[in-house]
Amino acid sequence: MAATPKPEELQQIDYTPPEKEWMEVPPSFKPGTWCYAGKPQILEYLGLPNPRKWSPADEDWKFPDNWKNTILEGIRERLLKFRSFHLFMDICVRCGACADKCHFYLGSGDPKNMPVLRAELLRSIYRREFTLTGKIFKKMAGGRELTEEVIKEWFSYFYQCTECRRCSVFCPYGIDTAEITMMGRELLHLIGMNTNWILEPAANCYRMGNHLGIQPHAFKDSLLGLVEDIEMETGIKVDPSFNRKGAEILFITPSADVFAMPAIFTMMGYMMLFHHLDLDVTFSTYASEGGNFGLFTSHEMQKRLNYKMYAEAKRLGVKWILGGECGHMWRVIHQYMGTHWDGCDELEVPVSPVTGTRFEHAKFTKMIHICEFTADLIKNNKLKLNPKRNDPYRVTFHDSCNPARGMGFFEEPRYVIENVANNFFEMPENTIREQTFCCGAGTGLNTDEFMEMRMRGGYPRASALKYVAGKHDVNLMATICAIDKATLDALVKYWIPEVEIGGVHELVGNALEMEGQNDRETNLRGEPLPVEPSESPPAAEGGEAGAEGGEA
């Protein structure tokens, strides 16, 4: 693995385009800028074409026979299947509004990371092969031949895009590079050009129910380990249930929450909340993954992995599904799942058993976000909260790309944070909400061998974070995405080590006043708290947050 350049070096970003035209610049496979190839046994397990040993650093990528035809047929098929793709191939005017909106471009200065050029990599082939002007005028009309070099270039740049959709916010026609990258990756899969960091989790998820390949007993053990941690910090023994038939609610969250740092603290928050509310909820070891690396593979793989959610809900006979903090998981649930399965009539419209609130906006898919659930609890004064226990934290919130631009999920997490923490500060407006910047490693790019590009892609986020850290002494960036929790942790260690990464429900767990709890002298991370232990309700000087924490 290549050593990642130091932050000082990485910040010297040159935005001057090369002398040569982009079609003349070959892709380069410098260590730190590409992910390892999919292993043959993984491809075989998933039934994907052209399994073989190869590396993007090799000269010979072992193209299958007739690969050109496969790609062109693949394009033809997708033009008919996806109007987004078809339209976005045709209507771009290259105005350049998207150019400096991409975190990978801002962090690397590589013009092929401008969304417009990323799309042109594919558009140039489309023009040459599928349009009249391209067939007649060829290069003059912006077309080019499909060669092995082109495929290598696709591989390079479609795996330097995190499908974050920030460019599509600014595009006057709403051209969404995520759609282009999805198509690009699907096409690459047709000839076996893919990355192991995406496919191995996908294969794990398919077989064992989760990306990390945690087997059922280990899944249970890990959570029981967290039960002990909770008992240590709060004196309360929570009692999660697994694969329990007849439960009212099935809870599904990314498997990273089960044992990856710092996501486990968020998991502790969930479990405390469920216990405190005496919620009739169960975990599943079979549907033990909220995330869906199929989204980063193909629409088909996405559907194959998504199957377990409804299937398990039906098998267990639950009424509805509650989903944890995750980014791309929610893109799938919000914009794809209902369509994949034409809904799920066996389930009921989610109703909070605590407040009676009926979540009408999820009446078709029957699945709601934990932040929606908790915000509703707080609004209805069902939680007793002591935000002072989060006082050591000066918190900012990182909007994750998928909930932000694929769902419109902005206020619920903020409302929860503002009620469980007293010190909350927003990053600059061009870097939050719908303009939020990616962590730099979404869509299955969160692998170590890709570290240089990750640090580059995450630079805009780090730069904004550094600003609030300097201005408001922010020391915790909360986020509602499991990939974020892992990747931002690496990002802040590199760019701005004084900041930690946490989850919204970790803060909820810290603030939650539970019946029979101990003095709560530490937070969920076991760090000592300066606040006076108190049995009485929290003082109200925390503003709205304190005032809202009414009856339990």
Strand order in the sheet with 476-479: 395-398, 476-479, 500-503
CA distance 455 to 494: 8
What gap in Å lies between CA 88 and CA 456, rounded to an integer? Answer: 27
CA distance 255 to 285: 10
**Contact of 276 with 240, CB cutoff 8 Å:** no
| 246 near another protein, rule: CB under 8 A | no
121 binds another protein (CB under 8 A): no
Q: How far is the CB of 504 from another protein (least distance, A)?
A: 15
Among 260, 354, 407, 552, binds another protein (CB under 8 A): 407
Of 153-161, 191-199, 427-435, 535-543, the window that binds another protein (rule: CB under 8 A) is 427-435
Binding of another protein by 237 (CB under 8 A): no
Q: Which of 52, 145, 173, 544 binds another protein (CB under 8 A)?
A: 173
Interface positions, 449-488, toward another protein (CB under 8 A): 459-460, 463-464, 466-467, 470
Q: Which is nearer to another protein, 114 or 227 (CB)?
A: 114
Q: Shortest gap between Cβ of 474 and another protein (angstroms)? A: 15
9 is a site residue for another protein (CB under 8 A): no
For another protein, the binding residue among 141, 236, 351, 531 (CB under 8 A) is 141
> Which one among 1, 2, 57, 91 touches another protein, defined by CB under 8 A?
91
Closer of 202 and 514 to another protein (Cβ): 202
Q: Quick check: 74 binds another protein (CB under 8 A)?
A: no
Coil, strand or helix at 85: helix
Q: Is the peptide bond before 111 cis (omega within 30 degrees of 0)?
A: no
Q: Which of 129, 257, 289, 376 binds another protein (CB under 8 A)?
A: 376
Tokens of 490: 């690496």
Q: Does 118 bind another protein (CB under 8 A)?
A: no
Helix H or strand E encompassing 178: helix 177-190
Q: Cα(369)–Cα(372) distance, rounded to whole angstroms?
A: 5
Kindly tell me which residue out of 242, 260, 518, 529 binds another protein, with binding defined by CB under 8 A: 242
Map residues 249-278 to x or -, x wherever contact with another protein holds by CB under 8 A. ------------------------------
CB distance 103 to 458 below 8 Å: yes
Around Cβ 126, how many Cβ atoms within 10 Å?
22
Taking a C-beta distance cutoff of 8 angstroms, is the pair 143, 414 a contact? Answer: no
Under rule CB under 8 A, how many of the chain's residues touch another protein?
Answer: 121
Q: Which of 33, 5, 10 is nearest to 448 (CA)?
A: 33
324: helix, strand or coil = coil
In the complex, minimum distance from the CB of residue 178 to another protein, in angstroms, rounded to a whole number: 9
Q: Looking at 84, 381, 517, 518, which residue binds another protein (CB under 8 A)?
A: 84
Q: Is 379 exposed, middle or buried (0-12, 13-18, 19+ CB in 10 A)?
A: middle
Question: Which residues in 509-538 contact another protein (CB under 8 A)?
Answer: none
CA 263/CA 285 separation, integer angstroms: 18
- Which one of 39, 68, 79, 522 is in contact with another protein (CB under 8 A)? 79
Minimum distance from CB of 65 to another protein (Å)?
Answer: 25
Site string (290-309) toward another protein, x via CB under 8 A: ---------xx--xx--xx-
Nearest to 43 by CA among 177, 155, 269, 195: 195
The C-alpha atoms of residue 211 and residue 292 are separated, in whole angstroms, by 8
| CB nearer to another protein: pick between 117 and 453 | 117
Q: Determine, following the binding rule CB under 8 A, whether residue 392 of this chain makes contact with another protein.
A: no
Residue of 434, 518, 525, 529 interacting with another protein (CB under 8 A): 434
142 binds another protein (CB under 8 A): yes
Question: What CA dihedral angle connects 165, 170, 173 and 178, to 10 degrees?
Answer: -10
User: Which residue lies nearer to another protein by CB, 67 or 320?
Assistant: 320
CB 317 → another protein: shortest distance, Å? 13
Query: What letter does residue 481 receive in the DSSP assignment?
Result: -
* Rg of the chain taking only CA atoms, in angstroms: 24
Q: Give the one residue of 5, 174, 392, 537 binding another protein; rule: CB under 8 A.
A: 174
> Residue 118 corresponds to which tokens in the numbers above?
């990323």
